[in-house]
Structure 1
Amino acid sequence: MQIVLEPTSEIQFTDGRVSIYQPEQADRIFPTVPEFSSFADERRHLKERLVAACRAFALNGLDYGFAGHLTVRDPEHPSLYWTNPMAVHFSQVKLSNLILADHTGKVVEGQHAINRAGFVLHSAVHEAHPDIIAMCHAHTVYGGAFASLGKKLEPITQDAAVFFEDHVVIGDEAGQVAVEVKAGNKISHAFTGVKAAIHQNHGLFTVSRHSIEAAAFWFIALERCCQQQLMIDATGIPPRMVTPERARYSREHVGSEYIGWLHFQAIWGQLLETQPDMFD
């Protein structure tokens, strides 16, 4: 089967598939990216997945008090975004307590307050990058520790290769809590053309131009990669790197927006069975 590499390096198949992981047999049970007939249907879908992303963060121990914010644009009003409420644990986020905010930080729907730092950083990125649909950030153990080093992840594993040449280190405002609008504006430019950022002395960020599911899964993956990197560094033994050519190959096949979305479908299925209160 012919594979055509476009200038953007996105892999395209002549039979309409976008990933080699999609089955060639049309009758197999396999997740499909949904299509919507109305903004209302799409909005409901996005809100459900935003809740699921918060619950997934809780399952992975990515909580730290009220810190951490996940956002996704409203499909009908792209200048507004849905986000988790301030001071509500990730495990207790549900449809009924999500809030909708604008780029000034004003809550236009929902009863809870907005996280100030979440507004400053996320709104700046969403406003500067109309293509970015979703964004995730949390204060995590391994991501926070790795961020103190001020360096990029190395291609030490196949998993880490998905971030090869697809993440940046941000030094601006390093270690200073982002509660002023100017702080968000200073770092928002860094998210051009990448899916992840390591903010020095702060932590991890992921974004997606595809879905909240992709942004959430790549955050979980980035945290794991930071853990792996720190464990390897602790041995004092220089690791054998994945070569740049192989790292790029792995990134193109298992590091795309679609693959991030696909990985999250397994998490979604688990949450559907175990946490029905998500939809309260």
Structure 2
Amino acid sequence: MSSSTTTQEQAQLVEASKRQAAYQAVKDYLLPEYTRIGIGSGSTVVYVVEAIAALGPSVTSKMAFYPTGSQSEELIEAAGLNLQYISKLPAGEQLDVAFDGADEVDEDLNLIKGGGACLWQEKIVATSAKRFVCVADFRKLSPRLGTAWKKGIPIEVLPMAAPRVLDELRRMGALEPRIRPGVPGKAGAIVTDNGLWIVDAPFLPLLLSKDTESGAQNEDREKGVWTVDALADRLIKIPGVAEIGLFYGSNGLQVASGAQKPVAAYFGMADGSVEVRTPSA
């Protein structure tokens, strides 16, 4: 009984931490003059939409909200917010800000995303925004990607290319990459909103540039030891790969458009506080 109560309390704590982080992120980054807002996928984004809706129609009626998939589309509609689609964003225009979660976040704010199989849409929305803000709970913090998230880097692939992609991943040192299965009890792979498959590719924890620059650790690609940037660059070049669940490179403070990394990451901590991490100079 006591074990069950402890488990329940822990679950409640995690949910409370997500909510706290979401409300703080919205308070800091959703300015009243903004008109185009990206909304990501995942359990933490539920609270982001809740926080936005709590601002009331006097603020939100002037805003349009762009989802990354069916889940965020439903959240936007259920909250009574104005739904719009990224395909309708005029050429040359950007979203003012996008909020999304992550499966894992490292010290340099590189992300693993795609546990919910929406990584391609998530990357399109994030890179369409002037500012991308990540919202998560304390369990998602890691010193290096692949430390806590052991399921692997999600990779969206053409079904016909999946066997070749798996072969190439093994040659690169991936640890038992596999096609993600679909509905439990039914044969076949999970199919994304784009009609593609997801391959999950576990690697050893990914190094940061500072690891190799300081000589603390060196890449050994044949044994699957890669830096984030090098692995991302190699993965996206495999024929048949449509998109990868590594969000890396620059953030929206460094480049005018196309940034994949967040300008800030909000983490709800176990003690009820919110830790905010921003890119190092």
Q: TM-score, normalised by structure 2?
A: 0.29
Q: Which fold has the larger relative contact order, with Cα–Cα distance below 8 Å and residues 6 or more apart in sequence?
A: 2
